[in-house]
């Protein structure tokens, strides 16, 4: 299938970097949400507690129902199910209506809600959640901690590794979560202990939200796969590393992953990401993907240039009024060993049916260099080297009261920069425990 048949790859009038908006904050070069972005989400307010659909523009949310763009009671899953053509039409309508000089300004201004006055919710109902492991630098670095001579298992470069997670414990950005209790086997012990997790970690990931699904037993070809993807979010798959080390063999993560995972509120569509596409390549000497995972289209534009950051604010920093400190940065294009389309094709090749709102986690997206680890496990070499923070505090793993903020931004010469907003979560004490260092 040629790129001409895939409109989400095309640059059109909605991407024009010269476009400005009548929403003043959308013209700030620092905003994540200029008129060239227009991500979708759900929100509610104190005066109108019913969840409804919105689009982020500057520091405002455009209420799509009040603007007359969706039917009363519409949700994002219904929009996802209708496929990419409707999404592209709606994006064009939104772009033209929010541009400076638009005749829609008088009507739509009344449909704006300040983002600061809105409660941002999970963007959609997630029925199923699969977590992949496509960050090759993360997989290599973590593998080296346990298998110094053979960090990557033989299947890694042939098959996208993943496991089915727990959708019920997905939480919205800004929501705190309790440190989990569980079993672990301390070094040198002869029997496991039970109690609060001692090695709590974050994971820097992107979330991939499915749009229109497929029928049971009908695989999605790799070059049609992105037709079934609505967009991307930020995703933090919190991990109890000590619980994980004890439980994961032979079947993989269980309680170490099912207590909380945080999803950011805004879904950046594939159309908004079109200017930031780039060729997808693998290191010389690595095997080519099997034919069902390979195509000219994937090699030409399967990667997306998305800069990623992790910030940490301890309770002590917050008490002093000190801003969060950036502790890591990386990039999706250089971190990911598999493309989004390859994940969809592989997930369905055996006949699995995806549904609107299904979520894929990318796995931890670490870079190859110093300070590019997407987890504390990497940044502290498994807890052997403390991470130093401004103000003199240190961390090997997360403590109660710590807040982790994930950020992402796309920047390229000749294009308007766009961002994803924040994915924020705070560690609360385990049930029955007071806030204290662990």
CB atoms within 10 A of CB 16: 15
User: And the tokens for 270?
Assistant: 């594939």
- How does strand 170-172 pair with strand 261-263? parallel
By the 8 A CB rule, do 383 and 145 touch? Answer: no
Structure-token pair, residue 425: 């979560």
How far apart are alpha carbons 370 and 114 in whole angstroms?
39
CA distance 235 to 311: 14
Q: Please tell me whether the peptide bond between 420 and the residue prior to it is cis, using omega within 30 degrees of 0.
A: no
Q: d(Cα 200, Cα 398) in Å, to the nearest integer?
A: 5
Is 129 annotated to bind ligand? Answer: no
The verdict on whether residue 157 carries a ligand-binding annotation is no
- Active-site annotation holder among 15, 137, 138, 311: 138
257 is in an annotated binding site: yes
Q: Which residues on neighbouring strands pair with residue 131, listed in sequence order?
A: 163, 361
Residue 244 is labelled as binding a ligand: yes
* Sign of the Cα pseudo-torsion (370, 372, 396, 162, in order): negative
End-to-end CA distance of the chain: 54
* Residues 6 or more apart in contact with residue 101 via CB below 8 angstroms: 22
How far, in Å, CA of 292 to CA of 342, rounded?
8
Residue 247, annotated ligand binder? Answer: no
H/E stretch holding 333? helix 332-335
CA distance to 172, 265, 270, 312, per residue, from 318 (Å): 21, 23, 36, 10
* Residue 364 annotated as binding site: yes
| 339 is known to lie in a ligand binding site | no
Q: Cα dist. 311→367, 390, 407 in Å? A: 16, 12, 8
Find the largest Cα–Cα distance for the chain. 73
Given the structure tokens 């199923």, which residue do they identify? 128
Tell me the Cα Rg of the chain: 22
Q: Is 147 annotated as a binding residue?
A: yes
Q: Quick check: is 202 catalytic?
A: no
Active-site amino acid positions: 138
Annotated binding site for Mg(2+): 237, 257, 261
Residue ranges of the binding site: 131, 133, 147, 203, 205, 237, 244, 248, 257, 261, 364
Which residues participate in the annotated binding site for substrate?
Answer: 133, 147, 244, 248, 364
Annotated binding site for Ca(2+): 131, 203, 205, 237
């Amino acid at each position: 299938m040629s790129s001409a048949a895939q409109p989400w790859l095309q640059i059109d009038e909605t991407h024009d970097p010269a476009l400005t908006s009548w929403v003043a904050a959308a013209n700030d070069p620092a905003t994540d949400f200029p008129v060239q972005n227009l991500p979708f989400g759900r929100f509610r307010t104190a005066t109108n507690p019913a969840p409804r659909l919105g689009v982020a523009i500057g520091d405002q949310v455009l209420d799509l129902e009040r603007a007359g763009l969706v039917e009363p009671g519409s949700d994002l899953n219904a929009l996802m199910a209708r496929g990419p053509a409707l999404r592209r039409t709606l994006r064009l309508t939104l772009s033209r209506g929010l541009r400076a000089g638009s005749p829609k300004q008088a009507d739509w201004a009344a449909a704006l809600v300040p983002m600061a006055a809105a409660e941002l919710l999970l963007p959609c109902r997630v029925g199923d959640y699969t977590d992949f492991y496509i960050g090759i630098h993360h997989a290599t670095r973590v593998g080296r901690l346990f298998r110094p001579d053979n960090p990557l298992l033989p299947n890694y470069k042939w098959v996208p590794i993943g496991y089915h997670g727990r959708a019920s414990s997905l939480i919205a950005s800004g929501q705190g979560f309790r440190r989990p209790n569980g079993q672990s086997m301390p070094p040198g012990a002869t029997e496991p202990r039970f109690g609060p997790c001692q090695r709590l970690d974050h994971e820097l990931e992107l979330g991939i939200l499915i749009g229109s699904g497929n029928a049971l037993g009908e695989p999605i070809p790799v070059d049609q796969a992105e037709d079934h993807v609505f967009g991307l979010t930020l995703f933090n798959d919190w991990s109890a590393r000590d619980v994980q080390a004890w439980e994961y063999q032979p079947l993989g993560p269980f309680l170490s992953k099912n207590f909380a995972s945080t999803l950011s509120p805004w879904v950046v569509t594939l159309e908004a990401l079109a200017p930031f596409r780039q060729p997808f390549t693998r290191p010389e000497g690595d095997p080519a993907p099997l034919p069902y995972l390979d195509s000219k289209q994937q090699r030409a534009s399967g990667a997306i240039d998305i800069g990623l950051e992790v910030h940490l604010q301890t309770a002590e920093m917050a008490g002093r009024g000190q801003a969060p400190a950036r502790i890591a940065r990386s990039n999706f294009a250089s971190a990911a060993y598999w493309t989004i389309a390859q994940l969809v094709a592989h997930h369905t090749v055996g006949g699995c049916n995806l549904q609107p709102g299904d979520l894929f986690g990318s796995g931890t997206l670490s870079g190859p260099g110093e300070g590019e680890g997407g987890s504390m496990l990497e940044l502290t070499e498994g807890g052997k080297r403390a991470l130093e923070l401004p103000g003199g505090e240190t961390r090997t793993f997360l403590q109660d009261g710590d807040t982790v903020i994930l950020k992402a931004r796309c920047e390229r010469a000749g294009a308007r920069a766009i961002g994803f907003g924040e994915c924020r979560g705070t560690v609360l004490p385990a049930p029955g425990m007071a806030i204290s260092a662990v």
